[in-house]
C-alpha cells in the first residue's frame, strides 16, 4: 500500500507509539485520524500536524464511537486505507495476593480494551476498507495491531495483560485469512520495552534495569522505531498474517 495519499486511523494516537506512527505516516504523505480517549492530548497533536490530521474522541470498545471515528475519516479525507491499533491498558496484579484473588473486573477490563477493543476496530475498519477500489495488486487496506513481548513471556502480575496480547497474536492469522478475499492485510507487531509515557512514570533506576535486560541494543525501544516498522508493513504488500517481535532479542524474565 502506498502511504502517500492514503488515509489512516490510529488508535491510541495521542501519545507514545500511536503518536509516533501518526507522525511517520504524515511525513510519508499520508493523512490520519487520531482515535483516543476524551481528555487525551489528541486534539493538540492533531493541530500540530495541520490539515493532514484530525482527532476523534472514542473508546475502542464502543461500536458507535469507533464507527463515528471511521465516518470522520471518510468525511474528512474521502476514505480509509490503513488502521493501526495502538490503544491499550497495562494494569497488573498477581492472580492471588494477601488480600485475596485478583478482582475479576480488573482482568475483564484489560481483555476488553486490549483484545476486544482491537477486534472492534479491525472489524469496523475492514468493512470500510472493503469499499475501496483495489490497487494493481488487488489490495484494499492494511491493518496493523499491537501485541507485546508479554504475549510470549508474560511476567509476574501480567496474567490479564499477557492473555489480552496473546489473544491479539492468536487472532492475527485467522483474521488475515478472513480478509484475504477482500484484499486486506493484517499484521501484528509485538514490542518489547519501549520508552513510552507509561514507562516514563517509572523511577530512572527501574527504567535502567528494564533496559539492561535487552540483549542488543541494550536500551529501551524508541517509538520512532515502532513507527518505522508500521510504515514498512504498510508498504510491503507481501507481509500478511504475521506477528513481528520488535524487542532487541528480549525474552522477559519472570519479574
Q: Looking at the predicted structure, is the pLDDT value of residue 202 above 80?
A: no
pLDDT over 70 (residue 186) = yes
| Residue labelled with grid coordinates 483484545 | 115
> Mean pLDDT over residues 175-193, rounded?
97
Question: In this model, does residue 197 exceed pLDDT 90?
Answer: no
In this predicted structure, the answer to whether residue 207 has a pLDDT above a threshold of 90 is no
238 included as an active-site residue: no
Could you tell me the pLDDT band of residue 203, with boundaries at 50, 70 and 90? confident
Instruction: Check residue 221 and report its DSSP letter.
Output: B
Superfamily of domain 7-246: NAD(P)-binding Rossmann-like Domain (3.40.50.720)
**With helix as H, strand as E and coil as C, how does 129-145 read?**
HCCCCCCCCCCCEEEEE
Sheet holding 53-57, edge to edge: 53-57, 31-36, 7-11, 82-85, 141-146, 184-191, 243-246
Q: Which of 161, 162, 175, 185 is catalytic?
A: 161
pLDDT tops 70 at residue 151 = yes
Its pTM stands at 0.95
Amino acid at each position: 500500500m502506498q502511504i502517500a495519499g492514503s488515509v489512516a486511523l490510529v488508535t491510541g494516537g495521542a501519545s507514545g507509539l500511536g503518536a509516533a506512527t501518526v507522525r511517520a505516516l504524515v511525513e510519508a504523505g499520508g493523512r490520519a485520524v487520531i482515535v483516543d480517549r476524551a481528555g487525551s492530548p489528541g486534539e493538540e497533536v492533531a493541530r500540530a500536524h495541520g490539515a493532514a490530521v484530525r482527532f476523534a474522541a472514542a473508546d475502542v470498545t464502543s461500536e458507535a464511537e469507533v464507527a463515528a471515528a471511521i465516518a470522520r475519516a471518510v468525511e474528512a479525507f474521502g476514505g480509509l486505507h490503513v488502521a493501526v491499533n495502538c490503544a491499550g491498558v497495562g494494569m497488573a496484579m498477581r492472580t492471588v495476593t494477601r488480600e485475596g484473588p485478583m478482582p475479576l473486573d480488573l482482568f475483564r477490563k484489560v481483555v476488553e480494551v486490549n483484545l476486544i477493543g482491537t477486534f472492534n476496530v479491525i472489524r469496523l475498519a475492514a468493512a470500510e476498507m472493503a469499499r475501496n477500489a483495489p490497487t494493481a495488486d488487488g489490495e484494499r487496506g492494511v491493518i496493523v495491531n499491537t501485541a507485546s513481548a508479554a504475549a510470549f513471556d508474560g511476567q509476574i502480575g501480567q496474567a490479564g495483560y499477557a492473555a489480552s496480547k496473546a489473544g491479539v497474536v492468536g487472532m492475527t492469522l485467522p483474521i488475515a485469512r478472513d480478509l484475504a478475499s477482500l484484499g486486506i492485510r493484517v499484521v501484528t507487531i509485538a514490542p518489547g520495552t519501549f520508552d513510552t509515557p507509561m514507562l516514563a512514570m517509572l523511577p530512572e533506576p527501574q527504567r535502567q534495569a528494564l533496559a539492561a535486560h535487552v540483549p542488543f541494543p541494550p536500551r529501551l525501544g524508541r517509538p520512532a522505531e515502532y513507527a518505522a516498522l508500521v510504515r514498512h508493513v504498510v508498504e510491503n504488500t507481501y507481509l500478511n498474517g504475521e506477528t513481528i517481535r520488535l524487542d532487541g532479542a528480549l525474552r522477559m524474565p519472570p519479574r
